[in-house]
């Protein structure tokens, strides 16, 4: 038997054309190393473990799905994340592909409200029930379908027919131990008031936030209800009771929160149920930069296999990391476009300095709340420092931004990924750890 091989990204579009992308961390990762028809791709897909397999804007007939699924089974192709993007496909054809590829994560963007795909049958099928994460976009899914879905990570976005009654039923099932929840993100139809959502459910409101906590023994469910009258987005995050406070209740796989303020020095670490908090104490301002940018970076990234730095203002932090970690693939990102960056920092030479490092990939116009799905599983360490919503400091906006960042980062994380978020004392409601 041939040894299994890893592929990063495979896209099927224009009926039969396949693009297979490499799994390396260089700038070449966005360039295909193979373009061929499905029938010619046996050498590429045989015994392959594919991070993301995307079927993009095609018409997938039942006959074609039978051919493809037979092909995938013959060549023992397996995928971690399977995406159907606006693909015209019957329920039978889609399930045929899902069964043959055995994905851990499944995303379906529906092509039309009256298309051939039937949500109830889809949700009930054993192949779908086996995935650990399910995302449905514009599915018009309704309350009754929620009973069939027993998947711990669920994203129902865009157009849905979910009502407050369906959401309340989900909460009641979790409260009685009938439903396991890791992360749920659901867009409801119309406005759902908290008084309706939590009717007869013992929920405690977190002051000055859109969050409610529901306790079941030693477990706590954090429910965030936000949005306007057209939609309510409700992420349910399963947490440990010992970690209940606003920022600590949101756990994204392994979450590291490092608290820093101007003029502080990292002293020691304390681990609390998977959340690592850096203890800090005031020190001379001159010591901070030296500590954070040299010895601190070397120790921090000692075990890192790859690093993604998000929202790095003028790129000074990325440059410090690049100079300390010369043998680690680093992707440094900025929210601004390159033109906006040049306008904001006209004399800043950090981009040029970073581009001289062979292990650094510099990206502009990267939004931490909407990261590219093809980055799933690509990075070992993900770093973001002091996210700010802009304008005058506002606690609610800061918390909303932090929550959006958690959701964005979570979509590209695997169980090996570690996310570090640096916050100033009091930022987004997080206080200093003593």
The confidence score (pLDDT) of residue 7 equals 75
Under 8 Å between Cβ of 377 and 309: no
Closest residue by Cα to residue 238 from 186, 185, 184, 182: 182
Element (H, E) at 186: strand 183-187
Q: What are the E-state strand segments in 211-306?
A: 211-216, 219-224, 233-240, 254-259, 264-272, 275-282
CA 114, 120, 122, 123 torsion-angle sign: positive
Q: What topology is assigned to 254-429 in CATH?
A: Rossmann fold (3.40.50)
Pairwise CA distance, residues 13 & 54, whole Å:
8
The confidence score (pLDDT) of residue 228 equals 33
- Residue 344 has φ and ψ, to the nearest 5°, of -75, -40
Tens of pLDDT along the chain (434 residues) come to: 567 777 777 777 655 556 555 544 334 444 445 555 666 665 677 788 888 888 877 778 889 889 889 988 888 888 999 998 877 788 898 999 999 999 999 999 876 545 567 888 888 899 999 999 999 988 888 888 888 888 888 888 778 888 888 888 988 998 898 988 888 888 877 777 777 888 888 988 877 777 788 888 877 787 877 643 333 444 444 433 333 322 222 222 333 333 322 333 333 333 323 333 333 333 333 333 334 445 666 777 788 899 999 988 888 888 888 888 888 999 999 988 888 888 888 888 999 999 999 999 999 988 888 888 788 889 989 888 766 555 555 556 666 777 778 777 877 888 788 888 766 544 444 444 44
Q: In what order do the strands lie in the sheet with 307-310?
A: 264-272, 275-282, 254-259, 418-423, 381-385, 307-310, 330-333, 360-363
Residue 13, beta-bridge partner list: 17
For 360, residues 6+ apart whose C-beta sits below 8 A from its C-beta are 318, 322, 330, 331, 332, 354
Look at the block and give the residue holding tokens 């909303």: 400
Q: Which segments of 254-334 does DSSP mark as H helices, in order?
A: 285-290, 296-300, 316-324
Under 8 Å between Cβ of 10 and 45: yes
Helix or strand or coil: residue 62? helix
Pairwise CA distance, residues 200 & 203, whole Å:
9
**pTM for the whole thing?**
0.54
Look at the block and give the residue holding tokens 């960042």: 405
The confidence score (pLDDT) of residue 99 equals 93
The confidence score (pLDDT) of residue 101 equals 92
Radius of gyration of the chain (CA): 23
For 349, residues 6+ apart whose C-beta sits below 8 A from its C-beta are none
User: CB count, 10 Å around CB of 165?
Assistant: 12
The confidence score (pLDDT) of residue 25 equals 38
Domain positions in the chain are 1-139, 154-244, 254-429
């Amino acid at each position: 038997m041939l040894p299994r091989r890893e592929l990063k990204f495979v896209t099927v579009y224009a009926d039969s054309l396949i693009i297979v992308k490499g799994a390396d961390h260089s700038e070449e990762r966005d360039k295909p190393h193979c373009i061929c028809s499905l029938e010619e791709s046996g050498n590429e897909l045989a015994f392959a473990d594919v991070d993301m397999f995307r079927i993009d804007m095609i018409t997938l007939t039942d006959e074609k799905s039978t051919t493809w699924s037979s092909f995938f089974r013959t060549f023992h192709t397996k995928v971690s994340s399977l995406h159907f993007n606006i693909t015209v496909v019957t329920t039978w054809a889609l399930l045929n592909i899902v069964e043959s590829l055995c994905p851990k994560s499944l995303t379906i963007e529906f092509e039309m409200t009256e298309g051939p795909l039937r949500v109830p049958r889809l949700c009930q099928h054993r192949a779908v029930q086996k995935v650990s994460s399910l995302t449905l976009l514009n599915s018009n899914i309704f309350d009754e379908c929620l009973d069939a879905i027993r998947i711990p990570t669920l994203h129902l976005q865009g157009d849905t027919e979910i009502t407050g009654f369906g959401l309340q039923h989900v909460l009641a099932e979790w409260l009685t131990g009938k439903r396991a929840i890791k992360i749920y993100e659901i867009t409801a139809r119309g406005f759902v008031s908290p008084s309706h959502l939590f009717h007869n459910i013992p929920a405690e409101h977190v002051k000055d936030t859109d969050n409610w906590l529901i306790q079941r023994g030693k477990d706590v469910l954090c429910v965030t209800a936000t949005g306007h009258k057209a939609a309510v987005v409700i992420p349910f995050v399963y947490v440990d009771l010992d970690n209940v406070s606003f920022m600590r209740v949101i756990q994204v796989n392994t979450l590291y929160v490092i608290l820093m303020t101007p003029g502080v020095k990292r002293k020691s670490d304390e681990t609390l149920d998977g959340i690592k908090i850096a203890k800090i104490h005031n020190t001379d301002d001159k010591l901070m930069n030296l500590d954070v940018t040299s010895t601190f970076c070397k120790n921090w990234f000692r075990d890192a296999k790859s690093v993604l730095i998000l929202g790095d203002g003028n790129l000074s932090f990325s440059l410090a990391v690049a100079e300390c970690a010369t043998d680690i693939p680093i992707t440094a990102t900025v929210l601004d476009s390159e033109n906006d960056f040049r306008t904001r920092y006209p004399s800043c030479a950090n981009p040029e300095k970073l581009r001289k490092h062979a292990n650094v990939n510099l990206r502009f116009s990267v939004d931490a709340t909407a990261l590219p799905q093809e980055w799933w599983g690509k990075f070992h360490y993900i770093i973001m420092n002091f996210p700010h919503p802009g304008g005058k400091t506002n606690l609610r906006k800061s918390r909303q931004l932090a929550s959006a960042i958690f959701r964005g980062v979570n979509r590209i994380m695997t169980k090996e990924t570690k996310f570090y978020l640096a916050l100033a004392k009091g930022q987004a409601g997080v206080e200093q750890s003593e």
